[in-house]
Amino acid sequence: MAVPRFWREIPNRYNLVGARCGNCNKILFPPRSICPSCRRMGKLEPYRLKRQGKVLSYTVAHVAAEGFEDQVPYVLAIIELEDGPRLTAQITDCNPDEVKIGDEVEMVFRRMGEESQDGVIYYGFKGRLIKP
Amino acid sequence: MRDVAVIGVGLTKFGELWDVSFREMMMEAGARAIENAGIDGKQIGAMYVGNMSSGQFIRQEHISSIVAEHAGLLPIPSTRVEGACASGGLALRQAVIDVGSGLHDIVVAAGIEKMTDVLTGVATGALATAADQEWEVFVGATFPGLYALMARRHMYEFGTTEEQMAAVAVKNHHNACFNTCAQYQMEITVDDVMKSPPVTLPLKLLDCSPITDGAACVILASAEKARKLTNTPILVAGTGQASDTISLHSRSSLTSLQATIEAARKAYKMAGVKPDDIDLAEVHDCFTIAEIMAIEDLEFCKKGEGGKVTEQGETAIGGRIPVNTSGGLKGKGHPVGATGIAQVVEIVQQLRGEAGKRQVDGAEIGLAHNVGGSGGTAVVHVLRRGD
Residue A24 counted as domain residue: no
A60: chain B residues, CB-CB within 8 Å: 198, 200-201
Band (B262; pLDDT cuts 50, 70, 90): very high
Q: Choosing among A63, A110, A121, which should be mutated to test the B contact, i.e. which has the most B CBs within 10 A?
A: A63
Q: Do B152 and A59 touch (CB under 8 A)?
A: yes
A88: chain B residues, CB-CB within 8 Å: 135-136, 139, 141, 149, 247-249
How high is the pLDDT of residue B117? Answer: 97
How high is the pLDDT of residue A87? Answer: 96
Residue A17 counted as domain residue: no
Residue B124 counted as domain residue: no
Nearest Cα of chain A lies from the Cα of B366 at a distance, in angstroms, of: 34
Both B269 and B153 in one domain: the answer is yes
Band (A46; pLDDT cuts 50, 70, 90): very high
B254 burial type by CB count under 10 A (0-12 exposed, 13-18 middle, 19+ buried): buried
How high is the pLDDT of residue B315? Answer: 98
| Distance set, CA B109 to CA B71, B159, B344 (Å) | 13, 40, 10
Average pLDDT over residues A27-39: 91
Both B264 and B218 in one domain: the answer is no
Q: Do A61 and B140 touch (CB under 8 A)?
A: yes
Q: Which residues, including other chains, have CB under 8 Å from residue B299's CB and lie 6 or more apart?
A: B264, B275
Both B241 and B372 in one domain: the answer is yes
Does the pLDDT at position B73 exceed 90? yes
Average pLDDT over residues A13-22: 92
Both B230 and B244 in one domain: the answer is no
For residue A123, give its domain range: 51-129
Both B180 and B58 in one domain: the answer is no
Residue A71 counted as domain residue: yes
Band (B252; pLDDT cuts 50, 70, 90): very high
The residue of chain B with its CA nearest to that of A30 is B135
User: Whole-angstrom Cα distance, residue A38 to residue B286?
Assistant: 35
CB-based burial, B171-192: b 16+ in 10 Å, e otherwise:
bbbbbbbbbebbbbbeebebeb
Domain boundary among the residues B200, B234, B268 is at B234
Residue B250 counted as domain residue: yes
* 3 state DSSP class of B351: helix
CB-based burial, B8-37: b 16+ in 10 Å, e otherwise:
bbbbbbbbebeebebbebbbbbbebbbebb
Alpha helix positions (H), chain B: 22-37, 54-57, 63-70, 87-101, 120-128, 143-158, 162-176, 190-194, 223-229, 258-271, 288-297, 306-311, 328-332, 336-352
Both B230 and B245 in one domain: the answer is no
Quick check: B73 and B366 in contact, CB under 8 A? no
Both B137 and B203 in one domain: the answer is yes
Residue B126 counted as domain residue: no
Angle of helix B288-297 relative to helix B143-158, nearest 10 degrees?
60
Strands B198-201, B365-372: parallel, antiparallel or unpaired by DSSP? unpaired
How high is the pLDDT of residue A10? Answer: 86
Quick check: A74 and A64 in contact, CB under 8 A? yes
Strands B214-222, B365-372: parallel, antiparallel or unpaired by DSSP? unpaired
Domain harbouring A86, CATH code: 2.40.50
Residue A76 counted as domain residue: yes
Complex confidence, ipTM: 0.96
Both B55 and B202 in one domain: the answer is no
DSSP A81-96: ETTS-EEEEEEESS-G
Both B301 and B360 in one domain: the answer is yes
What's the one-letter identity of residue B18?
Answer: W
Residue A101 counted as domain residue: yes
What's the one-letter identity of residue A118?
Answer: D
For residue B359, give its domain range: 131-208+237-385
Q: Which residues, including other chains, have CB under 8 Å from residue A6's CB and lie 6 or more apart?
A: A13, A120, A122
Residue A99 counted as domain residue: yes
How high is the pLDDT of residue B6? Answer: 98
Handedness of CA B244, B248, B251, B254 (dihedral sign): positive
Both B16 and B95 in one domain: the answer is yes
Task: Evaluate if pTM is beyond 0.95.
Answer: yes
Nearest Cα of chain B lies from the Cα of A76 at a distance, in angstroms, of: 7
On whether any CB of chain B is under 8 Å from the CB of A129, the answer is no
Both B92 and B171 in one domain: the answer is no
What's the domain count of chain B?
2
Residue B38 counted as domain residue: yes
Arithmetic mean of pLDDT over chain B:
97
Domain harbouring B250, CATH code: 3.40.47.10
Residue B85 is a catalytic residue? yes
Does the pLDDT at position B254 exceed 90? yes
Does the pLDDT at position A131 exceed 90? no
Q: How many CA atoms lie within 13 A of B62 on its CB side?
A: 2
Both B250 and B270 in one domain: the answer is yes
A71: chain B residues, CB-CB within 8 Å: 140
Average pLDDT over residues B215-240: 97
User: Whole-angstrom Cα distance, residue A86 to residue A76?
Assistant: 13
What's the domain count of chain A?
1
Band (A119; pLDDT cuts 50, 70, 90): confident
How high is the pLDDT of residue A6? Answer: 83
Residue B334 is a catalytic residue? yes
Band (B383; pLDDT cuts 50, 70, 90): very high
